[in-house]
Amino acid sequence: MAKSNIGKFSGRKSNAQIKEEFRQEKKKAREEKNAYFEKKKAEEKRLKPQDTRFKRQDERDKAQGTRDQHPKSRNQQEETSNKKQGRFEKESARKPIKKVTKEDKRFKMETIPAPVTFRKEKSAAEMPLNKYIAHCGVCSRRDAVELIKDEKVKVNGKVVTEPGYKVQDDDKVNVNGKNIFIQKELVYILLNKPKDYITTSDDPQGRRTIMDLMRGVEGPRIYPVGRLDRNTTGVLLLTNDGELTQKLSHPSFQVKKVYEVTLDRPLEKGDFEKMMNGLTLEDGFIAPDALGYADPKNKKILGIEIHSGRNRIVRRMFEHLGYDVKGLDRVLFANLTKKNVDRGKWRYLNEKEVRLLKFLNKSFVKKKEEQKGKNRDEE
Please tell me whether residues 148 and 255 are part of one structural domain.
Answer: no
In terms of DSSP bridges, do strands 185-193 and 117-119 run parallel, antiparallel, or are they unpaired?
Answer: antiparallel
- The answer to whether residue 374 sits within a structural domain is no
Q: Contact at 8 Å (CB) between 285 and 318?
A: no
Lowest mean pLDDT among 133-142, 261-270, 358-367: 358-367
Please tell me whether residues 317 and 245 are part of one structural domain.
Answer: yes
- The answer to whether residue 39 sits within a structural domain is no
In whole angstroms, give the CA distance from residue 18 to residue 9. Answer: 15
- The answer to whether residue 42 sits within a structural domain is no
pLDDT digits (tens, 9 = 90+) for 286-296: 999 999 998 88
Q: Which of 180, 204, 223 is the last residue of a domain?
A: 180
Give the pLDDT of residue 2: 46
pLDDT digits (tens, 9 = 90+) for 89-102: 544 455 444 555 56
- Tell me the pLDDT of the chain averaged across its residues: 78
Q: Is the pLDDT of residue 297 over 60?
A: yes
pLDDT digits (tens, 9 = 90+) for 3-61: 445 455 555 566 777 777 888 888 888 888 888 888 888 887 777 655 444 455 555 55
Please tell me whether residues 162 and 288 are part of one structural domain.
Answer: no
Under the banding of pLDDT at 50, 70 and 90, the label for residue 1 is very low
- The answer to whether residue 353 sits within a structural domain is yes
Question: Amino acid letter at 49?
Answer: P
Please tell me whether residues 352 and 303 are part of one structural domain.
Answer: yes
Please tell me whether residues 140 and 245 are part of one structural domain.
Answer: no
Give the pLDDT of residue 349: 92
Question: Radius of gyration (Cα) for the chain, nearest Å?
Answer: 29
- The answer to whether residue 108 sits within a structural domain is no
How many domains are there within the chain? 2
In whole angstroms, give the CA distance from residue 364 to residue 341. Answer: 30
Give the pLDDT of residue 103: 65
Q: Which of 104, 203, 229, 271 is catalytic?
A: 229
174: closest CA among 189, 195, 159? 159
Under the banding of pLDDT at 50, 70 and 90, the label for residue 249 is confident
Q: What is the CATH number of the domain that holds 301?
A: 3.30.2350.10
More confident residue, 320 or 7: 320
Give the pLDDT of residue 135: 75
Give the pLDDT of residue 97: 46
Sequence-ordered alpha helix ranges (H) in 278-350 = 313-320
pTM above 0.75, yes or no: no
Give the pLDDT of residue 205: 87
Q: Is the pLDDT of residue 85 over 80?
A: no
Please tell me whether residues 164 and 211 are part of one structural domain.
Answer: no
What is the average per-residue pLDDT within 68-79? Answer: 52
Please tell me whether residues 168 and 194 are part of one structural domain.
Answer: no
Please tell me whether residues 136 and 270 are part of one structural domain.
Answer: no
In whole angstroms, give the CA distance from residue 373 to residue 316. Answer: 35
Report DSSP letters for 191-208, one per residue: EEE-TT-BSSS--TT---
Domain that holds residue 263: 186-362
Active site residue 229: yes
Q: What is the CATH number of the domain that holds 134?
A: 3.10.290.10
Give the pLDDT of residue 118: 64
Helix, strand and coil content of the chain, in percent to the nearest 5, comes to 40, 20, 40
What is the average per-residue pLDDT within 101-127? Answer: 65
